[in-house]
Chain A
Amino acid sequence: MLLMLLLLLTAGTGTGAGTGAGTGTGAPPLRGPALRSSPPVPASPSASPPLLLLPKPRAEYGAPGVASARSAAEEPAGGGGEEAGEQHHHHGGGFRVVQWEWSYVQTPYIIAIWLLVASVAKILFHFSQRFTTVVPESCMLILLGLVLGGIVLIANKKQLYQLEPALFFLFLLPTIVGDAGYFMPARLFFDNLGAILMYAVVGTLWNAFCTGFSLYAAKLVGVIDERVHADLLDFLLFGALVSAVDPVAVLAVFEEVHVNDTLFIIVFGESLVNDAVTVVLYKVYISFVEVGAENVQTVDYFKGVASFLIVSIGGTLVGLVFAVLLGFITRFTKKVRIIEPLFVFLLVYLAYLTAELFSLSAILSMTFCGIGANKYVEANISQKSRTTVKYTMKTLASIAETIIFIFLGISAVDKTKWAWDTGLVSCTLIFIFIFRAMGVIGQTWVLNRFRLVPLDKIDQVVMSYGGLRGAVAFALVVLLDGEQVRAKDYFVATTIVVVFFTVMFQGLTIKPLVKWLKVPRSTSRKPTINEEIHERAFDHILTAVEDIAGLQGYHHWRDKWEQFDKNYLSKLLLRKSVYRKSELWEAYQKINIRDAISVIDQGGNVLTSARLSLPSMTSRASFPEVTNVTNYLRENGSGVCLDLQVIDNVPGAKVEEDMETHHVLAENLYKPRRRYQSAYSRHFMPLGEKERQDREVFQRNMKSRMETFKSTRHKRHKKERSLKKRRGSDSKEDGNEKPRRNVSWQDKDPVVVPVESEEEKGEHSDPEKEKEEDEGITFVARKAETPKIRPKSVPAALEGCHSPPAAPYSPTSEDSHLPWKGGVGSPPPCVSVEATKIIPVDLQQAWNQSISSLESISSPPAPAEPVHPRVSALSRLGGPRPASYTPPGSLAGSTSSVGAQVAQGSFCFPEKKEEEEEEEEEEEEGALQEMRPLMSSLRPPGAMPPPPQPPPGSAPGSGKRRNPCVYLRSFVTAPPPPPPPPPPPPPGDSRSRGPTQL
Chain B
Amino acid sequence: MGSSSSRLDRVPGAKDLMEETGFSETNILCLYDRFEVLDREERGYLRLEDFEAIQQLAVNPIGDRIIGAFVFPGRETLDFPSFVRVLAHFRPTDTTWSRSGSQPEPANSRTRKLRFAFSLYDQDGDGKISRAELTEMLQAMLGMQVTDEQLQSIVGRAIQEADLDRDGAISFDEFKKMAASGQTGLKSVSSIMYRTKQQQQQQQYICGEGGTEQVHLKHSCQTLMFIFC
Contacts from A to B (Cβ < 8 Å): 188, 191-192, 194-195, 261, 450-453, 523, 525, 527-538, 540-556, 559, 563, 580-582, 584-585, 588, 591-592, 614, 616-618, 620, 624-625, 627-628, 630-631, 634-635, 638
Contact = CB atoms under 8 A, between A and B. Distances in A.
A452 B117 contact: no
Interface stretch (B2-10, B12-20, B98-106, B184-192): B184-192
B11 interface: no
Contacts, number: 216
B221 interface: yes
Query: What 8 pairs between A and B have smallest CB-CB spacing?
Result: A531-B185, A554-B191, A531-B182, A582-B145, A553-B193, A544-B66, A550-B34, A624-B166
A195 B156 CA distance: 39
Nearest to A630: B156
A450 B66 contact: no
A551 B192 CA distance: 10
Contact of A547 (B57, B156, B164): B57
Provide the main secondary structure of the chain A interface: helix
B1 interface: no
Contact of A194 (B37, B120, B178, B190): B190
B70 A542 contact: no
Interface residues of B, number: 71
Provide the main secondary structure of the chain B interface: helix
B146 to A, nearest CB: 5
A794 to B, nearest CB: 24
Given A541-B62, A550-B37, A627 B188 contact: no
A549 B37 CA distance: 10
B215 interface: no
B117 A541 contact: yes
A537 B160 contact: no
B226 A553 contact: yes
A195 B134 CA distance: 36
Contacts of B121: 537
A555 B90 CA distance: 13
Interface in B125-176: 134, 137-138, 141-142, 145-146, 149-150, 152-154, 156-158, 160-164, 166, 168
Given A261-B184, A531-B182, A620-B166, A555 B157 contact: no
Nearest to A522: B183
Given A530-B182, A538-B186, A545-B226, 12 more contacts: A530-B162, A531-B184, A533-B138, A536-B141, A546-B193, A547-B54, A547-B60, A551-B221, A585-B146, A585-B150, A627-B152, A638-B153
B194 A452 contact: no
A580 B145 contact: yes
Contacts of B137: 533, 537
B195 interface: yes
A310 B105 CA distance: 51
B48 interface: no
Given A533-B138, A628-B156, A544 B62 contact: yes
Given A544-B57, A581-B145, A631-B156, A553 B182 contact: no
A611 to B, nearest CB: 15
B199 interface: yes
Given A532-B185, A534-B182, A450 B190 contact: yes
The CB with the most chain A CB atoms within 10 A, among B56, B164, B181, B191, is that of: B191
A540 B185 contact: no
Nearest to B222: A450
Contact of A541 (B66, B179, B185, B193): B66
Contacts of A620: 166
Contacts of B152: 627, 634
Contacts of A630: 156
A556 B182 CA distance: 23
A553 B191 CA distance: 7
A538 B178 contact: no
A625 to B, nearest CB: 6
A452 B228 CA distance: 10
Given A535-B186, A549-B87, A544 B63 contact: yes
A627 B189 CA distance: 35
Interface in B84-132: 87, 90, 92, 117, 120-121
